[in-house]
Amino acid sequence: MNKDHFPQPADTVEVHGVSFTHADIQAVVEDFYTRIQFDPVLEVPFRSVHDWPEHIERLTHFWWIRFGGDAYLFSHYNPVLKHFFAGFNADLLSRWLKMFHETLKSKLSAPQYELWSLISSKMGEALSMKNDIFRREYESKRSKPGTDSAD
Site for ligand HEM, rule CB under 6 A: 45-46, 48-49, 58, 62, 77-79, 82-83, 86-88, 92-93, 96, 120, 123-124, 127
Smallest separation (angstroms) from ligand HEM to the CB of 101: 10
Q: By the 8 A CB rule, do 27 and 1 touch? A: no
Smallest separation (angstroms) from ligand HEM to the CB of 145: 30
Smallest separation (angstroms) from ligand HEM to the CB of 79: 4
Taking the least distance from each CB to ligand HEM, the nearer of 27 and 49 is 49
**HEC secondary structure over 41-57:** CCCCHHHHCCCHHHHHH
Contacts of 28 (CB under 8 A, 6+ apart): 63, 103, 104, 107, 108, 116
Give the H/E segment covering residue 12.
Answer: strand 12-15
Q: How far apart are the C-alpha atoms of 65 and 17, rounded to whole Å?
A: 16
Taking the least distance from each CB to ligand HEM, the nearer of 126 and 140 is 126
Smallest separation (angstroms) from ligand HEM to the CB of 111: 20
Taking the least distance from each CB to ligand HEM, the nearer of 40 and 145 is 40
Taking the least distance from each CB to ligand HEM, the nearer of 133 and 144 is 133
- Residue 44 CB neighbour total at 10 angstroms: 12
